[in-house]
C-alpha cells in the first residue's frame, strides 16, 4: 500500500540569533513523523535558506502549516517574511505551547524540543492564520507603549528624587541631576503624545472614529488610540466576548463539589496594556455617566469591593469603545431610553412578546 501524506507542519522556535526548526508530517500509519530538524540564523539570509529548505521538503497536494511563538519582538521579522511568501503561518502565545507540552509530558526544555512540540501541535490542530497588524496601527501601538515605558521611568526618577530630598543633608548636584532627568523625561512624554496625535490626524477615517470614541466622558485620544491600536483596529474580533477574553476581563470560576468554592474573578490572562489604559477612564466614567455609576453601585452593593466595581466599568467601557468604533458613531448616554421610551406602558399593553422568549 502506498504511503499517503495527510498534512505537513513546521515548528519554529525563535530566539534573538537563530531559529530552531522541525519539519514533520502525518502519514498513513503514523500521526507524527519528524522528517528533518535544523537551525537557521535570524537574518535575511537565514530566512531565505529556511524558505528554500521548506520548499524542498514540501509535498504537493498536502496542506502545510507553520507555527511559531510570539517571543518578544524577535519573531516579527521571520513572521513577516514567511507570511509574504504565502505560507499558512500561525503565531501563538507562549503559554498555549507550554500547556500543550505539559499535556504531552515533556519535562526538558531546549530549542530543539520546543521546535518539535510546535511542529506536533501544528500537525494535530487547525490553527488560524496570523494576520500582520496594519502599519499605521502598529506605529501607534509602539508609540503608546513607548509612552508607558517613559511614564514608568518618570515615576521611578520622581520616587528617587523624593527620597533624596528627605534624606539627611542631600547633595545639591545630585538633586539637580535628578530634576534635570525628570524634566527630560517629561519632555520625551510630551513629544511621544504629540506623535500619537499627529499619526491619528494623518488618517481622516481613523481620526473620525477616534473622535467618536472620545465622546465618552473620561476617554481621551491617548486612551482611545491605545485600546484600538492594541487590538489592531478590532480587525480579528468577531464578537464582544472574544474582545473581553483578549483583554483578560473574562470571568473565571473555581468550584467543584462541596469542598471547593473559590472566589469568582477575572482571568487577567490577556493584554494588560488594555486593562491599564482603562483604569483611570473608568473612574471618570463612574462620576460622570449615570449608567456606569448605577452599574458600579450594584456591583459594590453585592461584593462590598470597590475594585470589582471599577473592573466591571472597565469591561463595559472596553465593549462600548468597540461598539462605537465598529458603528462609527458617537456616544449617546440616552441611547437606551430612546430605544424604549415607555418600558412600563409597553410591557402592560404588549405582554405577548415578553413571554415568547
Which long-range contacts does 94-102 make (Cβ < 8 Å, 24+ apart)?
Answer: 94/69, 94/70, 95/269, 97/69, 97/121
In 275-350 the beta strands, taken as DSSP E runs, fall at none
DSSP 107: -
Nearest partner of 42 among 11, 76, 67, 72, judged by Cα: 76
Residue 95 has pLDDT above 90, yes or no: no
Intra-chain end-to-end CA distance of the chain, in Å? 57
Q: What is the pLDDT of residue 339?
A: 61
Task: Find where cell 499627529 sits.
Answer: 198
> Cα(253)–Cα(246) distance, rounded to whole angstroms?
17
Q: What does R_g of the chain's alpha carbons equal in angstroms?
A: 26
Give the H/E segment covering residue 11. Answer: strand 5-14
* Percentage of residues in the chain having pLDDT higher than 70: 90
Find the Cα–Cα–Cα–Cα dihedral 318, 322, 327, 331, rounded to 10°.
Answer: 20
According to the model, what pLDDT value does residue 350 have?
A: 41
Quickly tell me which residue has 499558512 as its cell.
88
Supply 137's cell numbers.
Answer: 496601527
Residues 6+ apart with CB under 8 A from 175: 161, 164, 165
| pLDDT the model gives residue 351 | 39
24: closest CA among 135, 155, 131, 124?
124
Closest CA to 114 of 8, 18, 7, 14: 14
What number is the average pLDDT over the span 56-82?
91
- Residue 99 or residue 317, greater confidence: 317
* pLDDT at site 258: 60
Residue 350 CB partners (closer than 8 Å, separation 6+): none
Report how far Cα 145 is from the mean position of its chain's Cα atoms.
12
Q: Tell the CATH topology of 5-124.
A: Nucleotidyltransferase; domain 5 (3.30.420)
Quote the CA–CA distance of 64 and 81 in Å, as a whole number.
16
pLDDT band (50, 70, 90) for residue 72 = confident
Residue-wise pLDDT for 206-222, tens only, equals: 999 999 999 999 999 99
Query: Using CA of residue 286, residue 288, residue 290, residue 292, what is the dihedral sign?
Result: negative
**Domain ranges (residues) in the chain:** 5-124, 136-199, 203-338
pLDDT above 70 for 88 = yes
**Given this model, what pLDDT does residue 107 score?**
84
pLDDT tens for 300-356 read: 999 999 999 999 999 999 999 999 999 999 998 877 666 665 544 444 444 333 323
Confidence class for position 49, pLDDT limits 50, 70, 90: very high
Amino acid at each position: 500500500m502506498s504511503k499517503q501524506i495527510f498534512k505537513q507542519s513546521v515548528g519554529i522556535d525563535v530566539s534573538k540569533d537563530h531559529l530552531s526548526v522541525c519539519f514533520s508530517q502525518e502519514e498513513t500509519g503514523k500521526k507524527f513523523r519528524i522528517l528533518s530538524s535544523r537551525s537557521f540564523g535570524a537574518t535575511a539570509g537565514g530566512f531565505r535558506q529556511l524558505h528554500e529548505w521548506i520548499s524542498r521538503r514540501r509535498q504537493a497536494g498536502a496542506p502545510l502549516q507553520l507555527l511559531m511563538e510570539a517571543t518578544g519582538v524577535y519573531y516579527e521579522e521571520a513572521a513577516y517574511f514567511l507570511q509574504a511568501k504565502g505560507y499558512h503561518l500561525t503565531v501563538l502565545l507562549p503559554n498555549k505551547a507550554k500547556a500543550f507540552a505539559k499535556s504531552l509530558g515533556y519535562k526538558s526544555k531546549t530549542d530543539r524540543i520546543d521546535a518539535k512540540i510546535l511542529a506536533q501541535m501544528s500537525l494535530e490542530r487547525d490553527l488560524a492564520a496570523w494576520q500582520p497588524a496594519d502599519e499605521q496601527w502598529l506605529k501607534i501601538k509602539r508609540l503608546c507603549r513607548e509612552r508607558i515605558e517613559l511614564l514608568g521611568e518618570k515615576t521611578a526618577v520622581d520616587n528617587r528624587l523624593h527620597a533624596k530630598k528627605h534624606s539627611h543633608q542631600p547633595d545639591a548636584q545630585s538633586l539637580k541631576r535628578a530634576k534635570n532627568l525628570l524634566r527630560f523625561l517629561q519632555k520625551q512624554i510630551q513629544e511621544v503624545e504629540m506623535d500619537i496625535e499627529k499619526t491619528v490626524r494623518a488618517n481622516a477615517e481613523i481620526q473620525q472614529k477616534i473622535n467618536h470614541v472620545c465622546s465618552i466622558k473620561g476617554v481621551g485620544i491617548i486612551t482611545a488610540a491605545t485600546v484600538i491600536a492594541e487590538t489592531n483596529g478590532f480587525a480579528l474580533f468577531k464578537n464582544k466576548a472574544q474582545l473581553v477574553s483578549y483583554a483578560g476581563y473574562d470571568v473565571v470560576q473555581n468550584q467543584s463539589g462541596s469542598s471547593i468554592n473559590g472566589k469568582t474573578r477575572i482571568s487577567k490572562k490577556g493584554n494588560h496594556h488594555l486593562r491599564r489604559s482603562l483604569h483611570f477612564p473608568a473612574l471618570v466614567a463612574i462620576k460622570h455617566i449615570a449608567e456606569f455609576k448605577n452599574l458600579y453601585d450594584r456591583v459594590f452593593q453585592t461584593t462590598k469591593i470597590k475594585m470589582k466595581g471599577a473592573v466591571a466599568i472597565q469591561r463595559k467601557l472596553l465593549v462600548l469603545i468597540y461598539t462605537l468604533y465598529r458603528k462609527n458613531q458617537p456616544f449617546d448616554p440616552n441611547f437606551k431610553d430612546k430605544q424604549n421610551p415607555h418600558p412600563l406602558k409597553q410591557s402592560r399593553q404588549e405582554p405577548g412578546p415578553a413571554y415568547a422568549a
